[in-house]
Structure 1
Amino acid sequence: MDEIKVLYTQAVELLKQLIAIPSFSKEEEGTATCIASFLNKKQIPFQQQGNNIWASNLYFDINKPTILLNSHHDTVKPNSGYHLNPFDPIVIEDKLFGLGSNDAGGCLVSLLACFVYYYHKTDLAYNLIIAATAEEEISGKNGVEALIPQLPPINFAIVGEPTLLNLAIAERGLMVVDAKTVGVAGHAARNEGDNALYKAVKDIEWILQHHFEKVSDLLGPVKMTVTSFSTENTQHNMVPASAEYLIDIRVNELYQFEEVLDTLRANLNAQITPRSTRIKSTLINPNHPIVKAGESLGSICYGSPTTSDKALMPFPALKVGPGDSARSHTADEFIYLLEIEKGIEFYINLLNGVL
């Protein structure tokens, strides 16, 4: 337990350093250097790809399966509601305040502490790789997606995000779709043309009323929301020849994106063009050994409405970590110090269940 106490102290100090360094997505050079310095002090060799830092355990054996431990060190920009300095890591009543403290700094430093705990051990059933990655908050292509091809084959991952140490075994996918209806321009006074706006309105009404049949026990139904609308017109007396709208679609794990697109194309007037299909819905088997190890520690399984780097991983991944997702991106973001201590213990015990 003394070793864990030392790791906890070091993890909190590292988190304070990370909070003090602005690390907005695509601007993570400073925190990457900070994490590299932490590993250097631990005499742990690491590699860097862009702003992604990764390292493997000392006795890495290519003949063993490999677990990826991953969390991100980029943050969103602080919102206007902050009262405290978002880059001042201040502790008040056992809460560590600061931008990125909860999402996902507490998870990242807890995973790093866990990795250090296992780094020198010789008898592990799995290899371990720790990856502190960039651009998670914008699902950027220079984050974990760019790093994965550089890594050895991964059997499964633990993704550090604030879940109150419960097990997010499923995540909604996100697909953004551009829709365009086409008509014929005409003068409004003479009842001319074919109004593209009316076609779009009919589409939007269908979207509002449609319910996909397969409802997930973990994630609920597929959810479609029209989030923007426009026409080319600036004149009040012209029937628009085209109208465009944007659909935000949150997909459960029971549907492939192409199935959803086929349904839209069969029922809408609009021309459908998917803008983004990278953030796919995911599910790790509830009977996977790492899930069972988590349940044995008292954690419960659930489906997460938010997305993470788990969506970009072509292998099974469990999202779990200290902190609370409800605090993410909020003003005066914080994490309880006790959550970090419990997070380190949890990750160590979780891995002990399979290692």
Structure 2
Amino acid sequence: MINQLTQDAILLLKKLIETQSFSSEENQTATLLESWFQQYKIDYKRIKNNVWAVNKYFDDDKPTLLLNSHHDTVKPNSAYTKDPFKAIVEDGKLFGLGSNDAGGCLVSLIATFTYFYNQKDLKYNLVIVASAEEESSGPNGLNSMLPIIPKVDVAIVGEPTLMNLAIAEKGLVVFDAVLTGTPSHAAHPNDDNVIYKAIDTLQWFKDFKFEKNSEALGDVKLTVSQISAGKQHNAVPADLNLVIDVRVNDAYTNAEIAEILQKEAPVTRITPRSLRLNSSSIPVDHDLVKAGIAMGRTTYGSPTLSDQAVLSCPSLKLGPGDSTRSHSADEFIYLNEIEEGIKIYVELLHRVIV
């Protein structure tokens, strides 16, 4: 059965690649996913562009394990040399937009869910959500499904990890900051030029360190990622705008990060866009982690954000593919990574839920 599921999963991935699914535009790929569940006679539901199902013998008295990955993509960058919407196989690689992030993970998890769907007496219920709007952290993605699906006790989130165990993931807070000065004509002296003041401010952000370190996730990473000021060559502007990207370890909540920067940062004001994308983790002694380690998989902390950020339960990030290929030109995944991924997912769940 695994061989047939693997072949069908790869075929589904090829169809997904060749169907545009930018965030909030996933209608057609959601329809493709529906066809899988129809083919395997799985009772499923669709809400907007999210497709989900529970195992056949769902039992309210058992804990529930969520399997989740997304079918939306970013837009292809200008460096592509291959058609991003054509599934091309060369030298064991399947090229195409979304192949690695996170199509390979998604179809592998769907195949795994299908493998266990009809089995009785599982220790955990299974629920799968093929979600939308992950890349944009949009309002109609996994976050919108949590009040609808059964209560989740633990989750596996499919993102490319080379099938190693990402037992923690950094959260994200994006800040908008404003630095003010004195506007003037460029021809006149000005000791309060906001652009010159920004030199010391940028150095402060470059040097600033949050005190708490995390064993799994290391330090909080703060990066000034955008700067803008002025509209005319002959006018010194009154203010300068900064965007600060902060990747938060599990030693802080996002609200604590905001409180620290609002107190310490040498700017006129600094405002978080959202505080909801917190860090996430799973205890190293959880059965899923112990089973993965027993299978020879390594553990690490992930610096990249995923739908784990909207979950309040313990969650493990695990999937075929390599995160460094995500959002890259000529994105690809190895076909044998998908084959291996399905086998590892199935064995992992065998050890925990059967």
Give me the TM-score of the superposition, normalised by structure 2: 0.94
* Cα distance in 2, alignment partners of residues 311 and 52 from structure 1: 17
RMSD across aligned positions (CA): 1.7
* 2:5 match: secondary structure: helix
Give the aligned partner of residue 259 of structure 2: 262
* 1:37 match: secondary structure: helix
Residue deviations 1:27-85 (CA, integer Å, cap 9, x gap): 11111000001101111111111100000000011111101100111111222222222
* Cα distance in 1, alignment partners of residues 229 and 319 from structure 2: 45
Give the aligned partner of residue 19 of structure 2: 21
Stretches of structure 2 that go unaligned for 5 or more consecutive residues are: none
CA shift at 1:188, angstroms?
5.6
Give the aligned partner of residue 351 of structure 2: 353
Decide which of 106, 119, 122 is 2:120's aligned counterpart. Answer: 122
Return the letter of the residue paired with 2:342. Answer: I
Contact 1:187 1:193 in 2 (8 A): no
Contact 1:185 1:193 in 2 (8 A): no
Give the aligned partner of residue 43 of structure 1: 41
Give the aligned partner of residue 314 of structure 1: 312
Q: Within the alignment, does 1:218 sit opposite 2:216 as a pair?
A: yes
Q: Within the alignment, does 1:246 sit opposite 2:243 as a pair?
A: yes
Q: Counterparts in 2 of 1:72-221, with a 5 A limit?
A: 72-186=70-184, 191=189, 194-221=192-219
Give the aligned partner of residue 325 of structure 2: 327
* 1:158 match: secondary structure: strand
Give the aligned partner of residue 279 of structure 1: 277
Are residues 23 and 201 of structure 1, via their aligned partners in 2, closer, same or farther at CA, if it must alter by over 3 Å? same
CA shift at 1:86, angstroms?
1.8
Residue deviations 1:321-351 (CA, integer Å, cap 9, x gap): 1111111122222211111111111111111
* Cα distance in 1, alignment partners of residues 87 and 196 from structure 2: 53
Are residues 60 and 206 of structure 1, via their aligned partners in 2, closer, same or farther at CA, if it must alter by over 3 Å? same
* 2:58 match: secondary structure: coil
* 1:139 match: secondary structure: coil
* Cα distance in 1, alignment partners of residues 207 and 58 from structure 2: 54
CA shift at 1:262, angstroms?
2.3
Are residues 334 and 187 of structure 1, via their aligned partners in 2, closer, same or farther at CA, if it must alter by over 3 Å? closer
* Cα distance in 2, alignment partners of residues 29 and 52 from structure 1: 9
* Cα distance in 1, alignment partners of residues 280 and 327 from structure 2: 23
- Aligned identity (percent) is 52
* Cα distance in 2, alignment partners of residues 290 and 237 from structure 1: 60
Contact 1:186 1:193 in 2 (8 A): no
Residue deviations 1:133-178 (CA, integer Å, cap 9, x gap): 1111111121101111111110011001111000011111111111
* Cα distance in 1, alignment partners of residues 80 and 242 from structure 2: 34
Contact 2:12 2:107 in 1 (8 A): yes
Contact 1:106 1:323 in 2 (8 A): yes
* Cα distance in 2, alignment partners of residues 45 and 287 from structure 1: 34
